[in-house]
Structure 1
């Protein structure tokens, strides 16, 4: 099995495994929740394999994924992992979403996560989505207090614009920015990645396998269950999927040449972006997990990187990452602090 290795994430001292494990699909969004004993066994297998950077959020379930992680980390396991969770996204009983970043909510969300995870301190606490009604300085100001109180160690942002990252970092150092980055989601390379690098912020790439597309291509869409939110994403709509499947076919052909799987090749591409990048592919199967860490052994030359990128150039991917009403970094700017004080 591939040696996973360790890396420094950001400039504040956090060290994590060179690949993480996204835990969302175990409990939510990708079909019904998976059996708890199986998921705990998978988490324990990941840790034993050297993947110790675990990623969850209070909105996964909601809440059930954090409870699952809390159970998995009992019995001395907690000390072996770097645990990241997130707050800010709320799904109401009507199924509608809301985003909150006001100080009062920041604090209550943190207390809730600590309770569900059954821990005293969160290693990396992300603002999951940016509340565009609240100056980011107020959100980070409350997180800074939580760091001082020992409830969280490091602060992260997810799906934040370059200007939001700068403003947040000026209040308290941001350790990591989580963003969608894969061969078919590269819009962050223009402004966000350079901003993170300039400020010494670690980069955590979620959905590095294009939400499973680079594992099985068009076949993936045929297996979506009723509760799988991927069926609503623009790139998986029939009119776009027929076009996008050629990207998978080209990656698959190159993977056969290199003696690896298409998902290993796509994941290796993310690993080759730099020593400050940690991809966190999610899975619910031990076999897929083992395949994912195999990507660490796949070496790519500059020419191979360029060839891969030519398969999935920006104009060759049809459909957006999300439906237009879903908040992403493109609409994550917040009001200036001065306007808040004045109001």
Structure 2
């Protein structure tokens, strides 16, 4: 057992295999199109991890095997018991199914702990998304997965991305239609959205994680420019041009060791009503995570508690600011008793009047 997996055993990251290495393993299942017709004569790809964590590598794990569906959408794949093990550990497998629309797909992840594994019926889903401009932002509509898959439920998550560089915003527990206000979209070009659904299905001898990603839809371009656009920022290792206020919503700063605060300095004082943080990441959970404001860069007042009374750190944060006085500086500050803690990543910190 690797040291990493031994450490992960406490959190069930690695699971002991119950399969005889000499056994013959049979995987069976069926795949349907969105209209419930068979997905016939289609190649499905199988990924295999190095242990029980479902992390797949191009060095031997991605595209490990493939299997083709028959005319009725069914498939059968035989493996050796030894194929399912990494030493004494059960490997994670991922069966990938192509989607029926632009950028859509689905997969099922599972461990093999018996000689016969029957996968749940897998069905394509596009979400049929549409987007229109609204008075304040854009409205995205979609079809719930239950509209085409009987009895299927799961959390729908709306994702907003740039076509070129990555994630801009997410809305969890989304229900159609979803309004994305102008503060979230700013004046970014080439934004698109899609909806995903993640769920767990319990089989007789296996547990399956199933993920559907729907089609993408282009979002109408908006024109909101934050008061912080082009403002300077200060933190250890900061470049001359601040990457947190440049309007590139999905790429930003990777902070060096020991960074626990970031200060934005506005060109001139403003009364601020809202802050939007995107792709916030940190090495550990902090004991305190706040936004603070100042009129001189030395005396600070609290503006918002970003932990909201919990220990959960959100990746995307939209928060009202409550100080009536003009501010020239805004500080993101984290506190932790752990010496290894640091802010890790932030793509944009936008401040609005």
Q: TM-score normalised to the size of structure 2? A: 0.27
Structure number having the greater strand percentage: 2
Question: Which structure has the bigger radius of gyration?
Answer: 2
Q: Quick check: which one's helix share is greater?
A: 1
Give the TM-score, by structure 1 length.
0.27
Select the structure with the greater relative contact order (CA < 8 A; seq sep ≥ 6): 1
